[in-house]
Structure formats: C-alpha cells, structure tokens
Copies of this chain bind each other. A is one copy, B any other.
Amino acid sequence: YRRKRAHEVNMSILVEEDLWRPWPKTRKRIRACLECIKHQLFRIGDDWYFLFVLGVLMAMISFTMDFTVSKLQKAHRWLYQELGDNTLLKYLSWIVYPISLTAFSTGFAQSISAQSGGSGLPELKIILTGVMMEEYLTMKNFGAKVVGMTCTLAAGSPIFLGKVGPFVHLSCMIATFLGKIRTCVSGDYENKNKQFEMLVAAAAVGVASVFGAPISGVLFSVEVVTSHFAVRNYWRGFFAATCGAFIFRLLAVFNSEQVTLTALFKTSFKIDFPFDIPETFYFIVLGVICGVITCAYLFCQRWFLGYIRRNRIIVKLMATDKAVYSALVALLVSSITFPLGLGQFMASRLTMKELLTSLFDNKTWFILSQNASLAKPPKVDPTNLWLEWWDPNFTIFGTLAFFLVMKFWMLILVTTMPMPAGYFMPVFVIGAAIGRIFGEVLAYLFPSGITSEGITTPISPGGYALAGAAAFSGAVTHTLSTSLLVFELTGQIAHILPVIITVLIANAIAQKCQPSFYDGSIIVKKLPYLPRIRSSDTGSYSVTAEQFMNTNFISLNKNADSQEVLKAFTATTSLVYPIVENTESMVLVGSVQRSELGTFLQTHGDEQANEDKMSQKENLRPSIQEYCSIDPITFQLSTQTSLHQAHHLFELLSLQHSFVTSSGKVAGFVTRSELKAAIEDLAHGR
C-alpha cells in the first residue's frame, strides 16, 4: 500500500510539474519526435552498433599491440646500442630477445589453448564453409593469441613474422563473443546465418585494423575466407572495416605519430610521370618472376610442413617441448641475422616497418650508391634507411639478393614455429624486395631512364617494389586485392594499372601450379576441404551424381518402429538417415539425425521389447514419425545432376550432406568427401 501511495504522489508531482512548464503541446511533439528518432536509430541499429563496437575494439587492440611492440623493440635496440664494442655481449643481447620471447610466446599460447598457434586463417576458412570448430572461437584462445602475438612481434625482424592472419582470427573471436553477449542481453535469437554474416564482417575488420585499409580489407578477407558472398555482407564488412581503420589511424594521430589521417607507409612517388608505357613490359616480366618464385615458395613451404610432421626427432620434440623447438629455431635465425655477422648484408637492423618503408623509397639506390663517400652509420638513420642496404663490397644488388635467398628459407623455417603469428607481412616484404632488386637492375641497365617522345625519365625502383609486394603476396595467398592494398597502404595510386597487371600475371601462374598458402596449410593439416574445380576441367559437366554418390545407406520407413530403427542404427554409422514414404516406393520424404534415433532407442527401445513379449498390438508401437523430429528435405540432388553443379551448390549453400534421388526415390547420398574424391579423380584424369 505504501508503495502505491508513493507512486501516486510521484505521479501527481510529475503532472503538476508538467502543468507548470510552458508549451506543453510543443514539448510533447518534440518528445514524440525524439522518441521516433530513438526508435529509428535503434531499429536500423542493432547490427550496426555491433559492427561499430567490433571495429573500435579491434582498432584499439591493434594500436595497443603496435604501441607495446614498438616500445619493446626500442628497448632492445637501446640495449644493443649501449653495449658498446663487446661483440660477444652484443651477440648475446641480440639473440636473447628473440629466443626468450618466442619461447614464451609458444609456451604461453600452447599451455592455454592448443588452437592458438599459427595464423588461424585456414581454420576460419573451414569454419565458414559450415564445419563447426567452436574451440577456435573461444575467449580463452583469444587471450592466448593476444599475448602470444605481442611477444612474437616484439621478437622483431630476426623472427620476421606479421600479424594479419591472427588479427582476422582475433576479430572473429571477438565477433563470436559479442554475438553471445547480444543473445544473452536481448534474448534475441542468434541464428547461424547471422553468425556467418558477422564472421565475414569480422574478417574484414581484422585486415582493416592492421593496415588501416578499409576497402582492401574487405576484399582481401572475402577472397581469402569465402568462395561466395552476398553484397549485403559486403556492406556490413565495409562499415565495420571503416570504423576499424578510422579509429586505428585516429589513435596514431592522438599518439602524435601522425599529424592527420594518412596512410601507414606513406610514399612520395612522382605523380605526373610515375612510369613510362614501355615499362609495362617490365612489369609483366616482374609478374612472371613473382609467379615462378611463388610456386617455388609454396612448394617448399608445403613440403617442409609435411617433413616436420614426418621427421621423428622433430615430432618427438614438438609433442613434449614446443617451446624448445621455437627457441632453437629462434637461436638459428637470430644468429644468422646478427648485424655484425651475416646480418650486415641483409639489413637486419631494420624492423619490419622500416624494411618496408625503405623498400618503397622513391629514390634510386643504384644512383645514390655511386656516391663514393658513403659510410654505414653506427645507428639506424631514419631519414636514410637505404644505407642499411648498402655495402661497399657487396653493392646493393648483393645485399638485396642475399636478403632474398636467406629470408626465403628462414621464412619457411619460422612458419613451422607453433606460436601465434601471421605470415602475410613477411611475404609482402619479400615481394617488395623482389620488386626492388628488379627495379634496381633496370635502373642499372638503363642508367639514363627510358626515353619516350623526347622526355627522359629515370626509372623509379620503388614502383617495382610496390608491384612486387602486391604480386608476390597476392600470388601466395591467391588474391587480387593486394593490388589495392598497396595503394591504401602507401597513400598513392598512380601505379594502379601496372600493379594490377603484375598481380594478375603472378596470380595466373601461381593458381595454375600450386594451391594457395592457406589451402596448402589446410591440406597438410588434413582439415575437411572442398577443392576447386578448374574452369578448364570441362569433364565436371559430364560426370553425374549417379557416378560419384555413395549408395551405402539404409532408409527408414516413416512408420518404422524401434526394432527397425535398431537394425538400421547398428547396420551403418551414417550421421543422417533418409525417411521414405514406404520401403516399396522408396520415395524420400524427410531425414533424421543419428542422434535423434539414439534418443528414440533409449526411451522406447526397452519399453517395446517388453511390450513385444506381452502383446502384438501393432498400432500401439511407437513410430519415429511421432517421437523423432524429422527434418524436411529442402535440397536434394538428382542422379543426373552434374559434378560441376553439385559442387557449386555445396559451396553456395554450405551443404555438408545431400540425398540423391531419381524421380523421388532415394538412390544414394553425397557428402563433401564424395565430392572431393570425384573432383580429385577428375583432376587426375580418372
């Protein structure tokens, strides 16, 4: 009663207040208007708020990680400088950092979650085809990956690893987590379709928040993780990626690294005459070179990944002491890159960012290096990074070539370390180096530049470095969007046509000969995987479902009782059973999960066995139609469906399983493994 009374008093006060305020009608209208706006915003909202939060969170994580890593690296550089002339001490200080950090990264990540190693992109690709791998998207995994990644990156340029893949993975973990929170808070359904859409957007955010490149972030993630996508998802990804990139670059301004929102690796090429038409030919040659090196790299990479899974000693070591393996690899790699040893010929004092900045330099090193009075500075000189590449005896060609040869096998080696790490950035840097050396060779061959129509232009090797980075990273990952990424990264778009041509050619060669880096990992890790059908395999149109379907199935009558169910349950181990109208006509009317049958048998199996003994009243027998949830058939293949079409539909609808019927009768079923076998038969000429 007291409460009610208080409420009434409150109300009357409110009413009085209302009466005393002026213009009640106007206020009412404004209030209604505000209410309407609020309603509108929250109605559009929902997903958009979610995507906004995702973008902001990822940008903050990315920025914080970069910030921490740069501080740690500065500390390392300072330590290394301060040790003076004692070579042994310098060596120890050089190697102790990578060894301890990688060992910690491996140990920490592996002890918390075994799924946190590697980039996580191959697994994500599999998840987006509809296979459930929930352990990959847990928050435990997230923690392990963030800490591990920070250590990996802080280990610096000797270890030579990046953060793109893991960030895509991290972003998807956050999206899953936010999705769960949303479901809890709003009590909203969270269906599978929605989750899929969010994961695609999250992948875009991952890339965008690493590079500050929204458009290519979306395109890259789409190309890497999915085979089909809806324009609607593209918008979501675009929005989230823009939020991520914007906040990421804004934080850089707040941290006084930049004066305004600009590109991450700003270049300063000439805009008026960036390259000459005849140079297009050399860009094509560069594309071919990148394509061939990609094939070699992908082959070696896959072979070595397989090798360490076969080699007994390594397998033993990996089974018990993963951290020791990482430490050993780090020891080898950092010893080789020691700046007073071999490292002086491969610019090993530069961090990954400095490497990239120096390679995209708009000056021509060959011309600069002809100046005789050069000397390598004792410290890295940020305004003349190229000096790190210069050696009086070795020349810049020598150092660049040496860098490429060493990094080629070192990258293959470090990718086997079982810690969280990205493999895109190192590939990108190696590509830039390939392009740079190619450009410098051209500048050497044509010292006066290329003349056309009376205008003489010196060749700018930076443009080739751009093209090389895009082409090599694009070919390794089988994507074309790297050609846009380099422009978003550098803030200049003048080289767009030659870069795209280079990327296309490198991709054509790589896609012809080798599976992509991510597909290669999927193959080596033996994850469920549906190979592509090449458009030249016209045989896929003539192979029909009849030829590759699995006919080893047992169908259940829709009125089947528990005895029949038991028989079917024990006879095969299929996960889905077809339900037919009756066993004579065999017309498919639905399907039932094996687990459903199990439950049915548990509840009704015994009961009926007793009943059987007592009476024979057939009508009372419990049938699956009554007690099991029978899934309707929405999709079925016909025996005449071609392999090409079946593959297309499995990809499009993320199907895992489908029945094959012939004028309504069940004839068999097809799963991804049947499809895979059929495609492989086709590729090997049956």
A171 within 8 A of B: no
Please give the distance in Å from A46's CB to the nearest CB on chain B.
Answer: 7
Q: Is the CB of A480 within 8 A of B235?
A: yes
Q: Which of B189, B234, B268, B662 contacts A271 (CB 8 A)?
A: B268
Kindly state whether residue A335 has any CB partner on chain B within 8 Å.
no
Q: A497 near B246 (CB under 8 angstroms)? A: yes
Inter-chain contact B588/A581, CB cutoff 8 Å: no
A669 within 8 A of B: no
Partner among B260, B263, B645 whose Cβ is within 8 Å of the Cβ of A277: B260
Known: A493-B488, A590-B663. A231 touches B228 (CB 8 A): yes
Whether B261 and A498, one on each chain, are in contact in the complex, defined by CB atoms closer than 8 angstroms, is: yes
B652 and A641 within 8 A (CB): no
**Closest B residue by C-beta to A535:** B47
Please report the C-alpha to C-alpha distance between residue A663 and residue B215 in the assembled complex, in whole angstroms: 46
Copies in the complex: 2
Closest chain B CB from A255 CB (angstroms): 13
How does the 8 Å CB contact mask read for A628-648 relative to B, with 1 for contact and 0 for none?
001011111111110011001
How far does the alpha carbon of A191 sit from the alpha carbon of B542 in the complex, in Å? 12
Contact partner of A632 (CB less than 8 A), chosen from B245, B483, B587, B661, is B661
Q: Establish whether residues A504 and B228, one from each chain, have CB atoms under 8 Å apart when the complex forms.
A: no
Q: Map CB proximity to B onto A193-237 as digits: 1 under 8 Å, 0 otherwise.
A: 100000000000000000000110001001100111111101100
| Chain B hits for A277, CB < 8 A | 250, 253, 260-261
Contact check, B246 vs A44: say whether CB atoms are below 8 A apart: no
Residue A494 at the B interface, CB < 8 A?
Answer: yes
Please indicate which of the listed interface residues A214, A231, A512, A635 has the most CB atoms of chain B within 10 Å of its own CB. A231
Asked whether A634 and B630 contact (CB < 8 A) given A46-B536, A232-B227, A501-B242, the answer is no
Q: Which residues of B lie under 8 Å from residue A634 when comparing CB positions?
A: 635-638, 641, 649
Within 8 A of B (CB), among A502-520: 504, 507-508, 512
Which residues from B are CB-within-8-Å of A637? 634
**Please, how many residues of chain A have a CB less than 8 angstroms from a CB on the other chain?**
97
Contact A496 B504 (CB under 8 A): no
Q: Is the CB of A633 within 8 A of B636?
A: yes
Contacts A273-B260, A497-B249, A652-B653 known; A44 to B536 CB distance under 8 Å?
yes
In the complex, are the beta carbons of B231 and A222 less than 8 A apart? yes
Structural contact, B664 and A189, CB atoms closer than 8 A = no
Q: What 0/1 pattern do residues 662 to 674 of A give for CB contact below 8 A with B?
A: 1111000000000
A620 within 8 A of B: no
Cβ-defined contact, A234 with B223, below 8 A: yes
Q: Does A589 contact B (CB under 8 A)?
A: yes
A558 CB–B CB distance under 8 Å: yes
On whether the beta carbons of B47 and A238 are closer than 8 Å, the reply is: no
Q: Which residues of chain B are within 8 angstroms of A445 by Cβ–Cβ distance?
A: none
In the complex, what residues of B have CB within 8 A of residue A632's CB?
A: 638-641, 661-663
Q: Is the Cβ of B191 less than 8 Å from the Cβ of A541?
A: yes
Minimum Cβ distance to chain B for residue A349 (Å): 28
Measured in the bound complex, the distance between the Cα atoms of B665 and A588 in whole Å is 10
Cβ–Cβ contact A648 & B259, under 8 A: no
A654: shortest Cβ distance to chain B, in Å? 11
Chain B proximity of A57: nearest CB distance (Å) = 18
Q: Quick one: which of B232, B238, B274, B630 contacts A663, CB cutoff 8 A?
A: B630
- Inter-chain CA distance A271–B665, complex, in Å, is 68
CB <8 Å contact, A664 and B590: yes
Complex alpha-carbon distance, A645 and B653, angstroms: 11
Contact residues, A255-296 vs B (CB, 8 A): 259-263, 266, 268, 271, 273-277, 280
Residue A453 is within 8 A (CB to CB) of chain B in the complex: yes
Question: Shortest CB–CB separation between residue A164 and chain B, in angstroms?
Answer: 18
- Given A231-B222, A260-B274, A271-B491, A242 contacting B500 (CB threshold 8 A): yes
**For A480, A496, A508, which residue has the most chain B Cβ atoms within 10 angstroms?**
A496
Tell me the A residues contacting B by CB distance below 8 Å.
43-44, 46-47, 189, 191, 193, 214-215, 219, 222-223, 226-232, 234-235, 238-239, 242, 245-246, 249-250, 253, 259-263, 266, 268, 271, 273-277, 280, 452-453, 455, 480, 483-484, 487-488, 491-494, 496-498, 500-501, 504, 507-508, 512, 535-536, 541, 558, 581, 585, 587-590, 630, 632-641, 644-645, 648-649, 651-653, 661-665
A-B contact pairs, 9 of them (CB 8 A): A214-B500, A215-B484, A223-B231, A259-B273, A259-B453, A261-B277, A581-B585, A590-B663, A633-B664
Q: A260-B276, A266-B271 are in contact. List 10 more A-B contacts (CB 8 A).
A: A215-B496, A227-B230, A228-B228, A238-B500, A242-B501, A263-B494, A581-B664, A632-B663, A633-B661, A634-B636
